[in-house]
Amino acid sequence: MNFMLQIRKLRDSLLLQEDLNFLLTNRLPRREITRLMGWFSKIRNPLVCRMSIATWRMFTDLDLSEARSNSFQSLHECFTRDLKPGSRVVDSDPQVITSPCDAIVGATGMVQSGEVFQAKGFPYRLEDLFGQAERAMPFEGGTYVTLRLTSTMYHRFHAPSDGRIDHVSYLSGDTWNVNPIALKRVERLFCRNERAVIRMSLADGTPFALVPVAAILVASIRLHFLDVLLHLRWPGPNEFACNQAVKKGEELGWFEHGSTIIVFAPSGFTLAPGIESGTRIQMGQPLMKLPTSRTDPAPMTQVSARELPLPAAGMATG
């Protein structure tokens, strides 16, 4: 009897924590707080930076042991830190699609009748996420994986395969938190938030898409191949035609704190072994497999973001 009572108390405590988390992160003026955080994070003062990181570590498991440098002039530099050479291994098998980022795997599955799920019981229309129905059509019957970046993770994202960036759509929006609590309570959350739809073609011309979704405290997406900063105050244009060749593992851009990337592949692609909700994955590890698998596995290659060639176009700095 006492055991069951303790279980109920623990359950009620966890539910209360979820309610408080949801209230604090989603019932406050999200856009204003996000802009304030963006300003504060770029204050270049070593003392302010050290105090901010110390406070951050009090509430999270922030680990900077892999950072190329631990000497940060601002909190922004810590958020967007680069890694030491060889910190990530990129699977070089051309039949393997690798994870574009460090993440915790969220919802996965198949696109059915134009719908996917952000959490159990919470579907959303792919055309709403992409902004246009025709842009979602190539992925009907295909596979999707939701990758959630926590605030402490490595925040840069990379090309999952050799290919070409064809087009980017920037859709401004809200800045809801994208943690599991919010995903279970806010319908169509990813379709409401600020996001960039990156459409690309793999080496054989197969369509592929990455959708970085920003969130509270995060709303700023930077892409190396666009010389603009995509953020809440960006006035447009919102459509960018691209013709940028990329190599697997090449750095594409970054979030300025942490958020979500949803990966879409057309019919025939399958999830790599072990990819399921709750799995932790690093950039460069297998995420999906092409329809025709190779029988002779290719060797693994150690790479660093800074060792890979960057596009000629510059990247806006903040």
Residues carrying an active site annotation = 102, 158, 259
Question: Which of 11, 25, 9 shows the shortest CA–CA distance to 59?
Answer: 25
Q: What angle do CA 221, 178, 140 make, to 5 degrees?
A: 80
Three-state SS string over the chain comes to: CHHHHHHHHHHHHHHHHHHHHHHHHHCCCHHHHHHHHHHHHCCCCHHHHHHHHHHHHHHCCCCCCCECCCCCCCHHHHHCCCECCCCEEEECCCCEEECCCCEEEEEEEECECCEEEEECCEEEEHHHHHCCHHHHHHHCCCEEEEEECCCCCCCEEECCCCEEEEEEEEECCECCCCCHHHHCCCCCHHHHECEEEEEEEECCCCEEEEEEECCCCCCEEEECCCCCEEECCCCCCCEEEEEEEECCCCEEEEECCCCEEEEEECCCCEECCCCCCCCEECCCCEEEECCCCCCCCCCEEEECHHHCCCCCCCCCCC
